[in-house]
Structure 1
Amino acid sequence: MSQIVSPEVPPVTPPTDPVTPPRPPATPSPATPPPGHGARTFPADFKDRLTCPLPDFREIVSVTWHGGLRPDIGDVDQIPVLRAGLPPVAAQDAAITWVGHATYVLRVGGLTVLTDPVWSRKIPGVRQRLTPPGLAWSDLPPIDAVVISHNHYDHLDAPTMRRLPRHTPVFVPANLASWFTKRGFTNVTELDWWESAQIGDVSFDFVPAHHWSRRTLFDTCKSLWGGWVLTSPHQRVYFAGDTAYGDRFKQIGERYPGIDLALMPVGAYEPRWFMHVTHVDPAEAVQACEDVGARRMATMHWGTFVLSGEPLMAPVQEARAAWIASGRDRADLWDLAVGETRVLNA
């Protein structure tokens, strides 16, 4: 069972280890009221959290009509795929496996966690996925928790969620719990920004993003959006979800010092005039990684679904160039193949 932690109390107090220093404690906003354990009451919508106006109908028609979201996919065979299963990981280490798009299998603090799980071959509104999931569903170990960043179809996939046991702990943004409880999930925790919940020695902190939410024509921004910081006694991992660039990254870095790895989106950014309000480009992703104070960055949100107009390989190619231009160690950019696993040693 998950336990909600008051923002006034640091969500993790790891034991002192003479070999591995514990993660610095998080310092969520003291202005956030402590969440209760029963039904939550949130605003009817979160439009006041938007940092840019959303594209209007005319802009959407313009970019669609002129082919701005239809890139050439002739180089799809260049997207690296490495379906090698899940290698073992030591108890104090953490392992990340990129399944595709924004889906990772995180093994941290003794837990197996899924981020925005999408195993479907097709999602509404776009062509079928370009690459297969990097891990077969049958190869997954028991799932200890799922984190959802927001309700867009490429991040919240109903067919995939139906494959999970209904008792699986699920952490979701404010006003999104009812989507899960209507489908029979019994252990759903919804959080506002800077709020935290805990399973065992791992804390799950919901943090801001520059994005928005909508699943139907009538629910724009009625549920919240954001990213997640997962902290174990030995690692701290930031999952950015879906986001544009802005000052919220520095806020996250200030409140969650010592992030070991940032899982950052690098795709779905062209045409820039249209996408800049909702998605970072690769150079902004690298800057955001620096803003949150993360030593390493793993790329995501590319090579799976066609959502925008840039060439298929451009996101990872431009991320590599931006990383090298920033002067950071090339080994700390984890530009993983679909299905590849990397390990954070304790």
Structure 2
Amino acid sequence: MSNDQAIKYHLTLDSSITKSATRDHPQPAASLPEPKKTNISPKGSAGNENASIYFIGTATTILEWEGIRILTDPNFLHAGDHVHLGPGVTATRQTNPAIDLHELPRIDAVLLSHYHADHFDQEVEASLRRDLPIISTPHAKECLVVKKGDDRFTDVYDLDFFQNMMLDIKTLAAASDSGKSPAIKVTGMPGKHVPDGLLSRANEILGAVPPTNGWMVELGYKSSASTSSDSSFKSGYRIYISGDTLFVDELKEIPERYAGKNIDLMLVHLGGTTIPGPSMPLLMVTMDAEQGIKLMQLINPDVTIPIHYDDYDAFLSPLEDFKKAVSSAGWDDRVVYLDRADMYKFAVQG
């Protein structure tokens, strides 16, 4: 079994180009705000951390490495704001993001797990500059490009399960004597928002809950002389992002495909999101604490960071439940908990 399908797209990100993430604020912030707390691996630090993840809230994070910033699932609504999650289904935000949308520093690309308003809210959709690269699902590409007409996004890349693309990084230090250039390999991972069976078939007809991806994000280096092929790419750090999925059989293919390849970090979407809402919790569409523990057992990452756990009233599985389950499993030394505006720093191996 091959590790993944052939590269479908190729994108070059240039850290020397300064552009705002939004259309109405042409001058981006110079950098992220100082984190409230900086975390490192529970195993300790060798003092060589060269990459970071900054937690903004919900599933919104900023991955920073080699001068490049990738924004995941942008949601910048505030407490009291509402999102539409399907026919007759709304959710109310309970928290504020760590920073506001217009306070973002330069963003080079967006990694969007699926086209759902708690991951790509109405203000984000209206405000993001149209040429900002977005990597997402085929469904999201149709919504952001085909259905938006003249106001469409112009640089959207769609990846299905196990399809991948390479993001080359152009930096001032890229052409070094080492002959290596930084690059990021993004691969779509399986995910299901709706459980199999009658409900899934009904959702396919109604289109109420959108299809979703997880991601494998590999930070590493390739030969400076290579072309768009990833044949020379060597991963120095793997991050698995679960996306809004339940614990479904399709996830079992991930450790099979990455057998013998270490997963350094997992960002797991929790919350036990229920629809139509907290007053009538008929269907769970994201993992709760129990399923999160099962995913840790399946993927076996070195470190797990839970996200997407308390920002909306549709989340009925509190983070405290996951903490108790982690302690019961004896895994306290394998989990890092981030509050909004906290940062996790790690080392990408060269």
Task: Identify whether the pair has TM-score above 0.5, normalized to the shorter chain.
Answer: yes
Per the alignment, residue 118 of structure 1 pairs with: 75
* CA separation of 1:36 and 1:265: change in aligned 2, threshold 3 A: closer
1:298 paired residue number: 305
* Equivalent of 2:207 in 208, 216, 219: 219
Structure 2 counterpart of 1:192? 160
Matched, 1:322 2:325: yes
Q: Does 2:117 align with 1:153?
A: yes
Rate the CA distance shift 1:307–1:164 in 2: closer, same or farther, 3 A. same
Post-superposition shift, 1:170?
A: 0.4
Once the two structures are overlaid, the 10-residue window that deviates more, 101-110 or 263-272, is: 263-272
* Residues 1:252 and 2:254 are matched in the alignment: yes
**Aligned AA (2:65):** V
Structure 2 counterpart of 1:157, one-letter code: D
Distance change (3 Å), C-alpha of 1:86 and 1:167: farther
> Residues 215 and 229 from structure 1, CA distance in 2 versus in 1: closer, same or farther, beyond 3 angstroms?
same
3-state SS, counterpart of residue 235 of structure 1 = strand
- 132, 137, 140: which one aligns with 1:176: 140
Match of 1:130 among 79, 82, 94: 94
Q: Is it true that 1:281 corresponds to 2:288 in the alignment?
A: yes
Question: Mean Cα displacement is larger for which, 163-172 or 209-218?
Answer: 209-218
Q: CA RMSD in A?
A: 3.3
Aligned CA distance change for structure 1 residues 227 and 36 (closer, same or farther; 3 Å): closer
Taking only the aligned residue pairs, the percentage that are identical comes to 24
For each residue in 1:294-333, what CA deviation from the matched residue of structure 2 results, as whole angstroms up to 9, or x when unmatched?
111111112211114x3xxx521111111122222x2431
3-state SS of the aligned residue for 2:193?
Answer: coil
The answer to which structure has the higher strand fraction is 2
Where does residue 336 of structure 1 map in the other structure?
338
Whether the aligned pair in 2 keeps the contact of 1:197 and 1:204 (CA below 8 Å) is yes
TM-score (norm 2): 0.67
Q: Deviation string for 1:213-261 (max 9, x for gaps)?
A: 999995346x632111110112211111101112333321232331111
Post-superposition shift, 1:184? 2.7
Structure 1's 224 and 127: CA in aligned 2 closer, same or farther, altered over 3 A?
Answer: closer
Q: Return the letter of the residue paired with 1:229.
A: M
SS at 1:253 equivalent: helix
Cα shift readout 1:159-218 (whole Å, capped 9, x = no counterpart): 213322221110111232132222331111011110001211001111101225999995
Code of the residue aligned with 1:280 in structure 2: it is: M
Give the equivalent residue in structure 1 for 2:56. 99
- The normalised TM-score by structure 1 is 0.67
- The code of the aligned residue for 1:192 comes to D
1:326 and 1:109 map into 2 onto residues whose CA distance is 36
* CA–CA separation in structure 2 for the residues paired with 1:105 and 1:166: 19
* One-letter amino acid of the structure 1 residue matched with residue 211 of structure 2: L
Q: Secondary structure at the match of 1:211?
A: coil
- Cα pair 2:212 2:245 within 8 Å, conserved: no
Letter of the 1:291 partner, please give it: L
Q: 1:240 aligns to what? A: 242
Distance 1:247 1:279 in 2: 15
d(CA) in 1 for partners of 2:111 and 2:9? 20
Deviations 1:72-93 (A, max 9, x none): xxxxxxxxxxx84599999962
Shift of 1:34: 6.4
- Counterpart amino acid of residue 103 in structure 1: T
Measure, in 2, the Cα distance between the counterparts of 1:303 and 1:297.
Answer: 17
Q: In structure 1, what is the Cα distance between the partners aligned to 2:92 and 2:204?
A: 20
**CA gap 1:131/1:246 in 2 versus in 1, 3 angstroms:** same
Q: State whether residues 254 and 292 of structure 1, in contact with CA within 8 Å, keep that contact through their aligned partners in structure 2.
A: no
Alpha carbons 2:101, 2:124 under 8 Å: kept: no
Letter in 2 for 1:255: R
